[in-house]
Amino acid sequence: MNTSTRTNNPLASITQSALRTQLRQFARQHLPAAMLPSRFVLLDALPKLPNGKVDRKRLPAIELTQEGRATGAQVYQPPGTADEFQLVQIWRDLLGVEKIGITDSFFDLGGNSLSAVQMMARVRESFGTSLSLRQLFEKPTVSALALMLDVSRSGIAASASGERSMAPSALLEEALLPADIVPVAFIPGQPTGPYNRVLLTGGTGYTGAFLLRELLDRSQASIDVLVRAADTEQANLRIRQNMAEYGLWRDADAARLHGIAADIGRPWLGLDRASYSALAESVDLVVHNGALSNYVQSYWQLKPVNVLGTLEVLRFACHSRTKPVHHISSLAVFPVLNGEHHYSEGPLHSPEHVLGGYQQTKWVADRLVTQAGERGLPVCIYRPGQICGSQSSGAASSDTFLNAVIKGCIQAEAALPFDITLEMVPVDFCAAAVAHIALNGRHHGRTFHLTGARRLHWQDVIDMIRDCGFPLRDLSYQDWYRAVVGAVERGEDNELAKYLMLFAEHEPSADVGQTGAALSFDTSQLDAALCGSGIHCRPLDSAMMATYLDYFQRSGFLKPLPAL
């Protein structure tokens, strides 16, 4: 199989086990508990009738064994050692599942982040040793846990190389642009701005809501928004509800906004051929913001949307007539290394030391867009830092890793000690900068770093939170970790429960950041593009932090401070 075919075919590059995990996660997000499938059967293709419909009679039957397992599914393997028997009993008590094999996934059996922490506490009590929570998330089986116990007893340090990350050589292969993505010849009269019709991906996310607002306010264009939805009505409803959540919706927007039920991770964007071709013919400009920003998932879990979705957007931009693409990347594409490091607004070359599934998928997507530009597609790449709340309203997302750390520290009343610098950049500044540059149409082929007005140390963030009245104790890292994990083990609410795999007992994992890292980024191209626009990024200070935390309290994300 050639590289281009493999790159655009998830089933060829993702193991069946990983794909089943993805399907289960998607089902849990979109279906009531009573409707969750108990098993998934993967086929190369669905059998069809002459009229093109699925021939249900030719679908393979799912035969069950006496144990209730599907024929052909992973064979039940009973515990065979004392450790495995004891671990299975712990799992039974926590999960309420009677029959547990040593190769069954803890999370497929109903486990979650909270029960995982509680299970590891039970393991510590029973075996007298602490194990790596991160390794459990990566290899969540009884057999793997028993092996971890053996390693712990032997005194040999367990490998810290996470399965969420890919080797640099594999990433370079993943980042090869397929040969079929080539822009058509430039057609005289193609608009270079003002644009009449703009396509936006990721418009129902946090950054997407602000991007929509800016694209509407800075142009007269009609905006098509690709949305995962059952139909057009649901797509439009999701757009409206998302913008309203951040106080951005105006009733007059409905005349220029058009939700399209689609999926960037599927061929033809999940559209029928006729609709796809009509859309490709009518759109003048593409703003590609769609991505999954999940720091705990692996490269393979994020690839269908973050990588394959980018490929589909590039194909769309080359279909029928050439359409400029403005791609939202991230400063996370750069390695976070100890010491001072400066990065220019230029192409990426090496993925060495870029760790974590999210970071690596963004690196690959960034490289793919660059290569499309080298083939003649008009592209711009935007790399924002850690996106924080609006500098004008304080509206902030409750679904980011950064805000989970802030809330988790506030809930534990303890400051995470971490020697690292941050580029916290307001979401409305990012959106305004992207919209201004994209609609201007004069900066193709350039990359822009969207940084904060000043580089912050994590301790600066802690100090600002304290200035806002939230008490945070100074603890060593080990004591902070025990405080957070202990709270989760006791069943207390802490936002970091779902991210604990990113924190080891003695230090944060490498894909969170490297202690002593102090990165800086060139912004000369951004500064030139925004010159005279009136778009400015305000420095984050205690007053702005107060607007974010006030918003979190009003929205219910944080409990209000006690009245004095």
Same domain, 42 and 101: no
Residue 108, CB half-sphere, CA atoms under 13 Å: how many? 24
212 and 290 Cβ atoms separated by less than 8 Å: no
Q: What is the CATH number of the domain that holds 102?
A: 1.10.1200.10
Give, as one character, the DSSP assignment of residue 253. G
Same domain, 57 and 191: no
Pairing of strands 197-201, 285-288: parallel
Q: Is position 412 within any domain?
A: no
Cα–Cα distance between 284 and 500 in angstroms, integer?
A: 44
Same domain, 30 and 41: yes
For the chain, the domain total comes to: 3
Q: Is position 479 within any domain?
A: no
Tokens representing residue 440 in the block: 């201007």
Whole-prediction pTM? 0.80
Q: Is position 410 within any domain?
A: no
Same domain, 334 and 215: yes
Tokens representing residue 284 in the block: 């003048």
Same domain, 209 and 320: yes
Alpha-carbon distances, residue 255 vs 200, 220, 231, 251 (angstroms) = 16, 11, 18, 8
Give, as one character, the DSSP assignment of residue 546. H
Q: What is the pLDDT of residue 115?
A: 82
177: nearest Cα among 345, 374, 346, 328: 374
Which value, in Å, is the radius of gyration of the alpha carbons in the chain?
A: 25
62 and 39 Cβ atoms separated by less than 8 Å: yes
Q: Is position 159 within any domain?
A: no
Same domain, 71 and 191: no
Q: What is the pLDDT of residue 26?
A: 66
Same domain, 268 and 196: yes
Taking only the tens place, the pLDDT of each residue in 268-325 is 999 999 999 999 999 999 999 999 998 888 898 899 999 999 999 999 999 999 999 9
Same domain, 362 and 444: yes
Cα–Cα distance between 85 and 525 in angstroms, integer?
A: 61
* Ranges of the chain whose pLDDT falls below 70: 1-22, 24-40, 49-57, 61-74, 154-164, 186-191, 564
Residue 235, CB half-sphere, CA atoms under 13 Å: how many? 20
Give, as one character, the DSSP assignment of residue 259. E
Q: Is 290 helix (H, G, I), strand (E, B) or coil?
A: coil
Contacts (Cβ under 8 Å, ≥6 apart) of 17: none
Q: Is position 103 within any domain?
A: yes
Same domain, 223 and 324: yes
Cα–Cα distance between 423 and 519 in angstroms, integer?
A: 9
Neighbours of 275 (CB within 10 A): 15
Q: What is the pLDDT of residue 61?
A: 61
Q: Is position 437 within any domain?
A: yes
Q: What is the pLDDT of residue 71?
A: 46
Same domain, 142 and 270: no
Q: Is position 33 within any domain?
A: yes
Taking only the tens place, the pLDDT of each residue in 439-485 is 999 999 999 999 999 999 999 999 999 999 999 999 999 999 999 99
Share of the chain residues as helix, strand and coil, in percent rounded to the nearest 5: 45, 10, 45
Q: What is the pLDDT of residue 20?
A: 60
22: nearest Cα among 42, 49, 45: 42
Same domain, 223 and 132: no
Structural domain range at position 443: 170-387+425-452+520-538
Q: Is position 552 within any domain?
A: no
Q: What is the pLDDT of residue 296?
A: 82
Same domain, 31 and 143: no
386: nearest Cα among 423, 349, 415, 438: 423
